[in-house]
Structure 1
Amino acid sequence: MSIKATIIGDAAPETGSQLAPTRLDGLGAGGTEHAHPAPAIRPTVFKPTAMPGAVPVEQAGTPAQPTAIKPTTLPFTAPAHTPAVATAPAEHIHASTLPGTQRKPLEIAYETLALRFPGTAPKLLERARAVLAGVSPKAMDTAAWLAYGVQAQEELAALVKQRLALMESPATRGVSQHLARLHTLLREVLDAMDGGFLKKSVAKVWDSVAPEVRQLEGLLSKAGPALLGVLADMESLSNKNMDVGEVLQAHALAAEYLIDLLEAQVGQLLVTRLTALSTSQALVLEQVQTLTLDKERVQELMTLVQDGVLLQLPSVYSQLAGLSAKPSDTQRFMAAEKLNEIVQFIQRKL
């Protein structure tokens, strides 16, 4: 390989001179000369500059060691001394004395009452003993004595109102009104059978009243359950009256016992109350008797409806349906007999 010389500058090369190329050691040029191998490239290592007071850097590959920190010791300060709080000794609390009279009920033995009221039922004596246990004579004033037994009397008055309401209920009044109207309609048909120049025929009279008669029959057939409810209420009311009567009688016995025990002024008040309680007991007996009559009345209405009217009306329908404009004497007699039977039956019960 030939190397061409490069001329630098304006001077011309001399004629016949040869320029030898500059040889760099270690670099081979062509294959005519022996070239030495180039040395291997080594990295440049920079040594860090040590700063004063700095911690020397650990060499690579050396594991980091933990730095031990010495604990700081703080000076001990004793807490301020707090003086102990003195505890007051426990005081015993005594019950205060309030103005007034101590309420102390009466405790009367059963045997004492049995001797005072011989022949009285044990249950009634126990009730009287319970009444006395609720009485505190020293704590009761005039108003309290005048109110003695009033609550039982008020209960009796409420029971009287309930009895009146039962007898005026729609069930009892409705049945009576329906029966009265049915009696009137059937009586018109019966009167038409007597004949007469100005009277209508039986068939026309029956045709005019038959729709209302059937309507009344339907209303009466539905009245049975309502009447049974009224009977049950009357039975319950009768039991309540007897219970209130026993309460009133127990208060009366207790009042008789207190009259002999207390002073004259209180005894006079109890005499007044005893008279009122006796009157209320008489009213209880009257109530029970009246309720018994009321129950009998309702039972009669049920019998009249179920066993009388509802059973006899189908036979009346059958007899009147066969009447012609001019019925025979036999038809007239049989129909009149059935009508008269049911009319008289209703009339006796109303």
Structure 2
Amino acid sequence: MTIPVTVIGGRDDELEPRPTDPATPAPARGPALPPTAVSQHAAMPAPDSHAHPTAALAVSRLGAEATTQTEQEPEAHTEPPPLPGNTPIAVTAIGGAFNAARTATIKAIAHRFPNATPALRARVRALLVGHGPAAGGANTWLTYGVAGQTAVNATIKAQIALLDASAKRDAPTLLARLYSILEEVGGALEGGLFRRSARAVWSQHEPEMRHIETRLGAHANALLQTLDALDELDGRYAAAHDELEAFFLAGTYTFDTLPPAGDDAQWLHARLTALTASQQLAQQNRLMLVQQRNELRELVTLLQDGVLVKLPAVAAQLAMLPDKPNETERYLARDALGELAQLFERTRKWHSS
């Protein structure tokens, strides 16, 4: 009996049969798998040992073809086009709408509203950050911009109260009475057979004129304070108008991002309409305020230059006038009275009855 010699480092008899053994068939060799298909091939279930050798070959070929196709055709990746400003806008779903407005950039706002000033764009940006679509439901939209509307209404009420002050109402009445007295004195200075002397007319009305002069002097000081208050109201109108404009632009930008048929778009559209009406109301009352302020300045000028400066000069000339003045005395009295009369003629609306 001959024992075969085992060589260290040689082929394992159990793994690979010797070619001299006629009972052991030669192993079948399939196509080599690419390195990338090793893991995929290992993950496939092992074929049945009793299956035909071509079945195992088919499984290996399918795995190799699938791996090759995966390497040749990478997955396509598409990116959305950038929005204005070259800055992607983060989109967050809130209440069924996309909250794209809250992350809008200054450049995007400038692209949407090219006529807006840089300060207004910054205010719009701040409002967009704090007011997103459906941030608090429909009730939030019902209060959108109400603070600006409230400021407009409060300013209008303050304007009405200032123009209804006693100084504003009494001054024109006192001026009309003063003008009537001066006309009577001027007629007496013209002389005539059946006219009273200018001295007598002045003596009759002098106490009343002194009283009118005192009251108009006090009204002049009150009207100066009224003018200062009107200047403040003009600034309040401007601030309220700017606030409403910022809310309107921010709401318009947000409205563009909302679904047209949604509830948010409906309520926001109603608020934008109301803000527009308040803007128009503020602009109209501001124009009226400018006109009323100019008229009050005219009235104050009449009181300061006429009553506080020229009226004392007229009173001094009439007080020294004799019962039968000569032509020189009559001329001096008429000259002093004429300067005051010219001032009244330029501001007739304040003393016309």
- Normalised-by-shorter TM-score class: 0.5 to 0.7
Is structure 2 residue 317 aligned with structure 1 residue 296? Answer: no
How far the C-alpha of 1:198 sits from its partner, in A, is 4.0
How far the C-alpha of 1:241 sits from its partner, in A, is 0.9
Cα distance in 1 for residues equivalent to 2:288 and 2:134 = 42
Residue in structure 1 matched with residue 318 of structure 2 by the alignment: 320
Report which stretch shifted further, 140-149 or 181-190.
Answer: 140-149
Superposed counterparts of 1:134-283, under 5 Å: 134-265=130-261, 266-283=264-281
**Matched position secondary structure for 2:190:** coil
Residue in structure 2 matched with residue 339 of structure 1 by the alignment: 337
1:113 to 105, 109, 115: 109
Specify the code of the residue in structure 1 equivalent to 2:302. L
RMSD: 2.7
**Matched position secondary structure for 2:122:** helix
Superposed counterparts of 1:36-51, under 5 Å: none
Cα distance in 2 for residues equivalent to 1:211 and 1:280 = 51
How far the C-alpha of 1:186 sits from its partner, in A, is 1.2
**Matched position secondary structure for 1:217:** helix
Question: How far does the alpha carbon of each residue in 1:251-287 deviate from its partner, in whole angstroms, 9 at most, with x for none?
Answer: 1101211221011133344333323322322232333
Cα distance in 2 for residues equivalent to 1:200 and 1:142 = 80
Report which stretch shifted further, 280-289 or 158-167.
Answer: 280-289
**Matched position secondary structure for 1:257:** helix
How far the C-alpha of 1:222 sits from its partner, in A, is 3.1
Question: How far does the alpha carbon of each residue in 1:133-179 deviate from its partner, in whole angstroms, 9 at most, with x for none?
Answer: 33242344445434422331121011011112112222333333332
Cα distance in 2 for residues equivalent to 1:225 and 1:310 = 12
Specify the code of the residue in structure 1 equivalent to 2:162. L
Q: TM-score when scaled to structure 2?
A: 0.63
**Matched position secondary structure for 1:343:** helix
**Matched position secondary structure for 2:102:** coil
Report which stretch shifted further, 320-329 or 210-219.
Answer: 320-329
Report which stretch shifted further, 165-174 or 268-277.
Answer: 268-277
Specify the code of the residue in structure 1 equivalent to 2:299. L
Specify the code of the residue in structure 2 equivalent to 1:218. T
Question: How far does the alpha carbon of each residue in 1:36-83 deviate from its partner, in whole angstroms, 9 at most, with x for none?
Answer: xxxxxxxxxxxxxxxxxxxxxxxxxxxxxxxxxxxxxxxxxxxxxxxx
| Counterpart contact for 1:183–1:347, Cα < 8 Å | no
Cα distance in 1 for residues equivalent to 2:221 and 2:189 = 36
Aligned residue pair count: 251
Change (3 A) 1:114 1:260: same
Cα distance in 2 for residues equivalent to 1:119 and 1:334 = 62
How far the C-alpha of 1:346 sits from its partner, in A, is 1.9
| Counterpart contact for 1:217–1:310, Cα < 8 Å | yes
How far the C-alpha of 1:218 sits from its partner, in A, is 2.1
Q: After TM superposition, what 4+ stretches of structure 1 lie above 6 angstroms from structure 2?
A: none
Unaligned runs of 5+ in 2: 1-93
Specify the code of the residue in structure 2 equivalent to 1:325. D
Q: TM-score when scaled to structure 1?
A: 0.64
**Matched position secondary structure for 1:325:** coil
Change (3 A) 1:101 1:256: closer
Residue in structure 2 matched with residue 128 of structure 1 by the alignment: 124
How far the C-alpha of 1:116 sits from its partner, in A, is 1.8
Residue in structure 2 matched with residue 30 of structure 1 by the alignment: none
Cα distance in 2 for residues equivalent to 1:160 and 1:273 = 21
Cα distance in 1 for residues equivalent to 2:165 and 2:117 = 37
How far the C-alpha of 1:330 sits from its partner, in A, is 3.4
Cα distance in 1 for residues equivalent to 2:126 and 2:205 = 65
